[in-house]
């Protein structure tokens, strides 16, 4: 069931975006899309990496019988996430006073309203997955929230941006309340002392994950907000529709990453270089087989697909083709990043993502003022090409070096 949540969530989110685009004006859809993109990028930083590190740390403390330390970590990390996300949200509200553009101000206010919710939910997801409840961790934000929002929009089709934001934030708060009420019997949230010292022990794990995840997601997201801020939210709407559609071309490799990550880790620990290379080769071919038809469909019918959002969105067809080609390259290079993460090459993976993220920001700042939507598309595509080429080269080098070394002894076989 957990394996179905990602494709179902992506499909449901896409349908929700189509309905939103048809319910709002182009500018309003651009404001909403840009605001959520900014909030989702910042939440990966303000959640301090706990959305990922708790998946490692909670099972470790449970296996070691350190229930007290586990509870201190959970409560202290939640308090830290709430404080940091609220402070960053306050900074967004202050930044809104510096912009004369009313659409940008509205986007910053919406981002400030939703950022703490995204950060807390990221923390909740990591802790719940650490306890082994994968469906309960992933379903609330990826399935339940968009499904309820979609039902509301279908029954109340005439909307303004204000009403959409109010309903979205209200539903998000309600989903969080239900989730935390469900977590209480599981013992994930219990009274414990907030201890800053427990955080010092986990920073080396959490902070690199926060930076890595923000860089990875940011390359595909902050282009929407920067386009709206540097050009216009009227451009951000069609661009967001094209970007969301292009992501469908890369869904195959995302599914493959979920499936092969544990297998990479197991083969590496067993010293099975041949098996590791075989899994990488087969998973890459599988991603290509799944992803190529989607890419061809998008390239041939780009105008018709964007027409689902509305006639004003068809002009972004060149943007869609550029971004879809970048996602195809992501598919062609296979689960390279996952291989690096699971074979003790996290630092190399982090370095690639940080360099690609910085290059993305620099190119966006240079190209958007000159070329608007096309400039944003070329900047994002260039960063994606750069990151995936580096990941693939490092993954192949890793396999070759690993094969040249003496395989470690498998203690299970002795």
User: Tens digits of per-residue pLDDT, 78-89?
Assistant: 889 999 999 999
Which three-class secondary structure state does DSSP give residue 78? helix
Number of domains in the chain: 2
Could you tell me if residue 331 is inside a domain?
yes
- pLDDT tens digits for range 331-389: 999 989 888 877 777 788 889 999 999 999 999 999 999 999 999 999 999 999 999 99
List the domain range (segments joined by +) for residue 399: 220-408
Specify whether the backbone of 134 is left (phi greater than 0), alpha (psi in -120 to 50) or beta. Answer: alpha
Could you tell me if residue 176 is inside a domain?
yes
* Torsion over CA: 189, 192, 198, 203 (sign): positive
Same domain, 156 and 256: no
Q: Residues with Cβ < 8 Å from 194, sequence gap 6 or more?
A: 72, 75, 76, 79
Predicted local distance difference test score (pLDDT) of residue 190: 55
For residue 232, the 8-state DSSP code is -
Rounded to whole angstroms, the Cα distance separating 52 from 397 reads 26
Rounded to whole angstroms, the Cα distance separating 36 from 121 reads 14
Rounded to whole angstroms, the Cα distance separating 246 from 327 reads 7
Rounded to whole angstroms, the Cα distance separating 74 from 193 reads 10
Considering the entire predicted model, what is its pTM?
Answer: 0.88
Nearest to 39 by CA among 104, 99, 109, 105: 109
Same domain, 365 and 323: yes
Same domain, 140 and 234: no
Could you tell me if residue 303 is inside a domain?
yes
Q: Which residue has the higher pLDDT, 403 or 130?
A: 130
Same domain, 196 and 243: no
Same domain, 159 and 243: no
Same domain, 226 and 193: no
356, 215 contact by CB (below 8 A):
yes
* Torsion over CA: 238, 239, 242, 247 (sign): negative
The owner of tokens 């003496």 is 406
Q: Pick the last residue of a domain from 138, 166, 201.
A: 201
Same domain, 37 and 181: yes
Could you tell me if residue 209 is inside a domain?
no
Predicted local distance difference test score (pLDDT) of residue 61: 67
85, 40 contact by CB (below 8 A):
no
Burial of 406 (0-12, 13-18, 19+ CB in 10 A): exposed
Token representation of residue 134: 């994968």
Predicted local distance difference test score (pLDDT) of residue 304: 97
Q: Pick the last residue of a domain from 201, 236, 251.
A: 201
Same domain, 19 and 85: yes
Could you tell me if residue 212 is inside a domain?
no
Same domain, 103 and 245: no
Rounded to whole angstroms, the Cα distance separating 341 from 317 reads 35
Same domain, 177 and 78: yes
Q: Pick the last residue of a domain from 201, 234, 255.
A: 201
Q: Residues with Cβ < 8 Å from 277, sequence gap 6 or more?
A: 399, 403
Percent of the chain with pLDDT strictly greater than 70: 89
For residue 65, the 8-state DSSP code is T
Could you tell me if residue 358 is inside a domain?
yes
Could you tell me if residue 166 is inside a domain?
yes
Predicted local distance difference test score (pLDDT) of residue 42: 93
Could you tell me if residue 69 is inside a domain?
yes
Same domain, 103 and 150: yes
Per the prediction, the chain carries an average pLDDT of 86
Same domain, 275 and 239: yes
- Chain centre to alpha carbon of residue 54: 17
């Amino acid at each position: 069931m957990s394996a179905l949540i990602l494709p179902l969530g992506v499909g449901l989110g896409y349908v929700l975006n189509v309905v939103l685009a048809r319910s709002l004006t182009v500018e309003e859809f651009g404001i909403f899309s840009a605001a959520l993109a900014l909030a989702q990028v910042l939440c990966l930083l303000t959640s301090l990496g706990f959305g990922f590190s708790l998946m490692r740390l909670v099972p470790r403390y449970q296996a070691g019988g350190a229930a007290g330390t586990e509870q201190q970590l959970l409560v202290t990390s939640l308090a830290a996430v709430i404080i940091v996300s609220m402070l960053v949200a306050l900074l967004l509200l202050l930044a809104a006073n510096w912009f004369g553009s009313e659409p940008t101000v509205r986007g910053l206010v919406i981002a400030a309203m939703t950022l703490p919710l995204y950060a807390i939910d990221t923390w909740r997801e990591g802790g719940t997955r650490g306890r082994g409840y994968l469906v309960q961790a992933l379903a609330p934000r990826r399935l339940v929230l968009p499904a309820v929002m979609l039902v509301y929009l279908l029954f109340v089709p005439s909307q303004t941006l204000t009403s959409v934001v109010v309903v979205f934030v209200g539903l998000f708060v309600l989903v969080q309340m239900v989730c935390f009420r469900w977590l209480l019997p599981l013992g994930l949230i219990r009274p414990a002392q907030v201890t800053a010292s427990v955080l010092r022990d986990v920073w080396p794990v959490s902070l690199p994950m926060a930076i890595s995840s923000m860089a990875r997601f940011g390359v595909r997201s902050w282009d929407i907000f920067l386009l709206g801020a540097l050009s216009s939210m009227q451009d951000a709407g069609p661009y967001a529709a094209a970007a969301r559609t292009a992501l469908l071309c890369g869904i195959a490799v995302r599914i493959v990453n979920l499936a092969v990550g544990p297998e990479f880790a197991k083969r590496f620990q067993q010293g099975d270089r041949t098996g590791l290379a075989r899994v990488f080769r087969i998973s890459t071919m599988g991603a290509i087989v799944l992803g190529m038809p989607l890419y061809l469909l998008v390239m041939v019918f780009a105008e018709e697909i964007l027409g689902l959002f509305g006639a004003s969105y068809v002009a972004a067809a060149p943007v869609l083709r550029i971004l879809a080609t970048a996602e195809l390259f992501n598919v062609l290079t296979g689960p390279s990043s996952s291989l690096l993460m699971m074979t003790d090459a996290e630092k190399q993976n982090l370095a690639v993502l940080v360099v690609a993220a910085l290059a993305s920001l620099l190119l966006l700042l240079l190209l958007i003022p000159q070329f608007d939507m096309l400039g944003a598309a070329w900047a994002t595509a260039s960063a994606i090409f750069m990151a995936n080429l580096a990941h693939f080269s490092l993954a192949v080098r890793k396999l070759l070096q690993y094969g040249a070394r003496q395989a470690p002894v498998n203690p299970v076989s002795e």
